Each structure stands twice: as structure tokens, then as C-alpha cells.
């Protein structure tokens, strides 16, 4: 007993001394700083790291040379598609990805060579609809204090060119699509930051005006505001066509047809599927209960459209649907935390690509759940999932996505990821209902749990 009391007294004294090393408010005292400084003792390894870091990037020095060989590029199952797109300096990965899923279908169905939908056309209406979404939300919340959490979030996020799949489905079902040569890219569509700055400045200005108006007057004024936004968009992106002539050529360059279309008639003739009713959005978010449906407030592109509604699932169930879709030659909308452990020159996503531990002589032990909880990881980029390599037991070894960073990036414009990387950094997948098992479809009958717009997992994919 005496030994126990003595030990307890020593521990208590040590704790008191340790706390006393800080300032009373928890700051760093001179005594505490002296202890902290022992973290660097000037060993040969520490000096070598310090000297190297003074002249080189962390990415360069943490490159794992033991993993420098190119990953095997064979895939047991791959979707038939052709060409690589380039979003350039814009945040439109979500749109490129959605249109690339449809492009793969069109190329395969009609035996086309190169073909691309106009991203600029749908971007135009995306920015117009987002402007309306913001302005109407400001009208809806005009009775709230300007520093309320919801109004503050709206004012911080009036508009961006990032987004997710419901933007693809709602915009196309409302405005249709056009071939890229009908409404090509402009400098502003490829380099969106300055245009976005101008639009956000106008929208915030309009928000202050609308907050002081009654509903009817605010609605009328909103139309005038959107008319000015439309003019700015036309000057930056061009006039979106309402009717156009287009000639189809097959893979051999033979003319198949020349017809006049509207954007909606073009979509209905060549694709025609119900994008709003034919797809299920799933997610692997280990911070929330699996088997539950969630909805994110304001996570939509069109005011009267759909919020992002998803079914949260274990990663094994997500893989099951992805494999079924790829085996049936159907590409998928896929999003992940793309910049983690990437080898950009080889185009690989592999946990062994980067070795921060050896460089800094420390460990980074957080798992996926802990990284999400602490804002260390989240969905940031959308790409088109087009291939999987299965072993003899039908288990995935690696995956491949078609990216939208140009044909010269990565592996011929694609990124190849190990299955281990897929598990750690994949988050969202959009699947056609025919590939979703019955037990998962039944889960979608639940009333979604509404999550706030500021939830950390739901920043726009760019």
C-alpha cells in the first residue's frame, strides 16, 4: 500500500511539474520550449533531412524509389471507350465525368470514332442555375440573421464550377446536350477562376439587396439580376444554341446522317435514358452508419432539382456493383481523394508510392474514418471508372479511371489504382439501377437523414 501511495504521489507531482512547464493559460513557456527543442538534436539523419528539404519538395523527397516500376497495365475487364478529355484550369471534373460516361455509351452504340459532348454548353446553364439557386435561397432565408449558420454558409459559397452527379442529371434532363463542335470551349470556360470571382461578387451584392425586400418584389428583382448574370455568361462562354445542324460520321469516317436538332431532341435521339430515375448514388463514409440513406442540404445545382442523396455502404458492396457494371461494358461516375499517394508521371495511385514516414522519421497511423473525422481526407475529384483487373477468385487487384486532365497526363490520360488505395480513398460511386442488388434497392426506401450543407464530406468535386 505504501508503495502504491508513493507511486501515485510521484505521478501526481510529475503531472503538476509537466503542467507547470506551461503558462497558466496553456501557452508555451520558456521551460516548455526548452523541452520541445529536444525534438531536433542534430543527428546525422536529421541534418540530412533538413539539408535535403531546404532545396527540394516534400513530394520529391518522399518518392518511394522501391515502387518506381510502372504498375501492370493489363485489365481483365475494361469498358470500350475512346479519347481523353481535358478540363484544363476549371473545376468541372464532375461534368466531364458525367458526360464521359454518356460519351462511352454513344461511341459504342453508334460505332463512332472521336466524339465529345460540349462541356461548355452544360457549364453555361450550370452557372445560371446555381446563380438562381443562391438568389432564391437568399430570399427564402431573408428573415434569418445575416450571421446565422445557414446564411453565412450561403454567402461564403454563392457559386463555384465544382459539383456532383445530380448536376449532370438535372441539367441534362432540363437542357439536353450538344456536340462539342457546336459550342466549343472559350478561354473563360477553360480558366474559370476570374469569371467565378466576378459572378460571386455580383451575387453577394444582389444578396444584400434581396434581404431587404418583400417576397414579391424580391422575385421580380431576381429575374432582373439573372438577366444580367446571363449577359455576363454569354460574354464569357458564348451563346448557348437552341437549334443546330450536326452530321454524324462513323468510325471509318463515313457520313451517316445530317439533321437539325434542339439540345433536348439530340439527347433524346441518341441517348434518351432517364438520368434522374435510372441511377443510384452510393458512398463509403465510415464515419456514418452503413445501410442508411443521407441527403445533403443545398448540395444540388438546380433550385427545383435534387439534392445529393446517397446510400452509405461498406466498401465491399460498392466494389460488387462497380465490378458488375464494368463487366457489362458500362462506365461509372467515380470520385475520390485523388491527390493522396499519387505518382503523376506514371499515372498510379498506390499507398506505396510515397514514404513520408522515412523522410520525417514518424508515423501517420490514422485510418479512413479518422482521416474523414479530422478533415484530413474527403472526396475531391470525379473521374470515370472504366476498368478492373480480377484475380482467379474474382477479387479485384487494381482499377483504372479515365481522367479529365488531358491525354498527356498520367497513363495515357488515365490513372491506375491498387485495390488497397481504392479502399482507403474512394468515396462516391453512381451506379445504374440494374447493377444494384435487391437488398440495396430496398434500403433506398428509407427517408433520408438530412445533413447540413457545411458537412466536411460534401465539398464540390473539382
* pLDDT for the residue numbered 21: 67
Q: What is the pLDDT of residue 114?
A: 85
Q: Does the annotation count 74 as an active-site position?
A: no
The model's confidence at residue 364, banded by pLDDT at 50, 70 and 90, is very high
- Among the listed residues 93, 100, 284, 301, the single catalytic one is 93
Mean pLDDT of 432-446: 97
Q: What is the 3-state secondary structure (H, E, C) of the chain?
A: CHHHHHHHHHHHHHHHHHHHCECCCCCECHHHHHHHHHHCCCCHHHHHHHHHHHHCCHHHHCECHHHCCCCCCCCCEECCCCCCCECCECCCHHHHHHHHHHHHHHHHHHCCCCCCECHHHHHHHHHHHHHHHHHHHHHHCCCCCCCCHHHHHHHHCCCCCCECHHHHHHHHHHHCCCECCCCCCCHHHHECHHHHHHHHHHHHHHHHHHHCCCHHHHHHHHHHHHHHHHHHHHHHHCCCCCCEEEEEECCCCCEEEEEEECHHHHHHHHCCCCCCCCEEEEECCCCCCCCCEEEECCCCCCCCCCCCEEEECCHHHHHHHHHHHHHCCCCEEEEECCCCCEECCCCEECCCCECHHHHHCCCCCCCHHHHHHCCCCCCCEEEEEEEEEECCCCCEEEEEEECCECCCCCECCEEEEEHHHHHHHEEEEEEEHHHCCHHHHHHCCCCCEEECCCCHHHCCEC
Which pLDDT does position 6 carry in this prediction? 38
State the pLDDT at residue 455. Answer: 83
Q: pLDDT digit string (tens) for 316-333?
A: 999 999 999 999 999 999
Give yes or no for residue 13 having a pLDDT over 60. Answer: no
pLDDT tens track for 229-249: 999 999 999 999 999 999 999
- Does 72 fall in a domain? no
From the candidates 100, 120, 170, 403, give the one annotated as an active-site residue.
Answer: 403
pLDDT band at 19; cut points 50, 70, 90: very low
Task: Please report whether residue 24 resides in a domain.
Answer: no
Mean pLDDT for the stretch of residues 309-322: 98
Mean pLDDT of the 346-357 span: 96
Q: Is the pLDDT of residue 259 over 70?
A: yes
Indicate whether 356 belongs to any domain. yes
CB neighbour class for 305 (10 Å; exposed up to 12, middle 13-18, buried from 19): middle
**What is the pLDDT at residue 9?**
40
User: How many domains in the chain?
Assistant: 1
Q: What is the pLDDT of residues 63-83, one digit of tens each?
A: 999 998 999 999 999 999 989
Give the pLDDT of residue 315: 98
1: in domain: no
pLDDT beyond 60 at 15: no
| Average pLDDT estimate for 177-184 | 98
Any idea of the CA torsion for 258, 261, 267, 271, to the nearest 10 degrees?
-30
> Rounded mean pLDDT of the chain?
93
Residue 93 is a catalytic residue: yes
Instruction: Inform me whether the pLDDT recorded for 418 exceeds 60.
Output: yes
pLDDT bracket for residue 12 (50, 70, 90): very low
Give the per-residue pLDDT at 17. Answer: 43
Say if 87 falls within a structural domain: yes
Q: What is the pLDDT of residue 214?
A: 93
Residue 390's domain comprises: 77-458
pLDDT > 70: percent of the chain: 95
Q: Is residue 332 part of a domain?
A: yes
> Residue 239 falls within a domain, yes or no?
yes
**pLDDT category of residue 290 using cuts at 50, 70 and 90:** very high
Check whether 460 has a pLDDT greater than 90. no
Is 150 contained in some domain?
yes
Q: Which of 170, 336, 343, 381 is catalytic?
A: 381
pLDDT tens, position by position, 191-205 = 999 999 999 999 999
Alpha carbons 441 and 187: distance in angstroms, whole number: 43
| Domain harbouring 311, CATH code | 3.90.70.10
pLDDT at 454 over 90: no
In angstroms, the CA 77 to CA 190 distance is: 33
Amino acid at each position: 500500500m505504501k508503495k502504491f501511495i508513493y507511486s501515485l504521489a510521484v505521478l501526481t507531482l510529475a503531472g503538476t511539474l509537466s503542467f507547470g512547464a506551461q503558462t497558466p493559460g496553456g501557452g508555451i513557456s520558456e521551460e516548455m520550449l526548452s523541452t520541445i527543442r529536444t525534438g531536433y538534436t542534430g543527428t546525422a539523419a536529421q541534418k540530412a533531412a533538413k539539408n535535403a528539404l531546404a532545396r527540394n519538395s516534400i513530394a520529391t523527397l518522399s518518392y518511394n524509389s522501391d515502387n518506381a516500376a510502372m504498375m501492370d497495365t493489363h485489365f481483365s475487364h475494361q469498358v470500350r471507350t475512346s479519347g481523353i478529355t481535358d478540363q484544363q484550369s476549371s473545376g468541372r471534373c464532375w461534368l466531364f465525368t458525367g458526360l464521359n460516361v454518356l460519351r462511352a455509351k454513344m461511341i459504342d452504340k453508334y460505332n463512332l470514332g472521336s466524339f465529345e459532348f460540349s462541356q461548355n454548353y452544360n457549364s453555361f446553364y450550370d452557372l445560371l442555375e446555381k446563380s438562381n439557386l443562391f438568389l432564391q435561397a437568399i430570399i427564402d432565408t431573408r428573415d434569418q440573421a445575416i450571421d446565422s449558420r445557414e446564411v453565412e454558409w450561403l454567402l461564403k459559397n454563392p457559386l463555384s464550377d465544382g459539383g456532383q452527379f445530380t448536376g449532370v442529371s438535372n441539367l441534362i434532363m432540363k437542357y439536353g446536350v450538344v456536340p462539342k463542335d457546336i459550342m466549343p470551349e472559350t478561354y473563360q470556360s477553360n480558366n474559370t477562376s476570374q469569371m467565378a470571382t466576378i459572378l460571386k461578387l455580383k451575387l453577394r451584392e444582389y444578396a444584400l439587396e434581396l434581404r431587404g425586400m418583400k417576397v414579391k418584389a424580391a422575385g421580380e428583382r431576381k429575374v432582373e439580376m439573372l438577366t444580367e448574370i446571363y449577359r455576363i455568361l454569354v460574354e464569357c462562354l458564348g451563346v448557348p444554341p437552341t437549334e443546330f445542324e450536326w452530321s454524324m460520321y462513323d468510325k471509318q469516317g463515313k457520313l451517316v446522317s445530317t439533321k437539325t436538332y434542339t439540345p433536348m431532341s439530340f439527347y433524346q435521339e441518341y441517348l434518351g435514358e432517364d438520368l434522374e430515375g435510372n441511377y443510384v448514388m452510393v458512398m463509403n463514409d465510415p464515419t456514418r452508419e452503413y445501410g442508411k440513406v443521407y441527403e445533403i442540404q443545398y448540395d444540388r445545382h438546380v433550385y427545383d432539382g435534387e439534392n445529393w442523396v446517397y446510400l452509405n455502404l461498406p466498401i465491399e458492396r460498392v466494389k460488387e456493383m462497380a465490378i458488375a457494371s464494368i463487366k457489362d461494358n458500362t462506365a461509372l461516375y467515380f470520385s475520390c481523394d485523388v491527390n493522396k499517394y499519387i505518382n503523376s508521371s506514371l499515372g498510379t495511385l498506390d499507398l506505396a508510392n510515397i514514404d513520408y514516414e522515412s523522410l520525417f522519421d514518424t508515423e501517420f497511423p490514422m485510418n479512413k474514418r479518422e482521416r474523414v473525422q479530422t478533415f484530413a481526407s474527403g472526396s475531391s475529384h470525379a473521374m470515370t471508372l472504366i476498368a478492373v483487373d480480377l484475380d482467379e477468385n474474382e477479387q479485384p487487384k487494381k482499377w483504372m479511371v479515365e481522367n479529365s486532365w488531358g491525354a498527356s497526363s498520367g497513363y495515357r490520360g488515365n490513372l491506375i489504382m491498387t485495390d488497397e488505395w481504392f479502399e482507403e480513398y474512394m468515396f462516391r460511386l453512381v451506379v445504374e439501377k440494374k447493377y444494384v442488388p435487391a437488398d440495396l434497392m430496398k434500403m433506398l426506401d428509407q427517408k433520408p437523414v438530412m445533413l447540413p450543407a457545411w458537412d466536411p464530406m460534401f465539398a464540390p468535386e473539382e
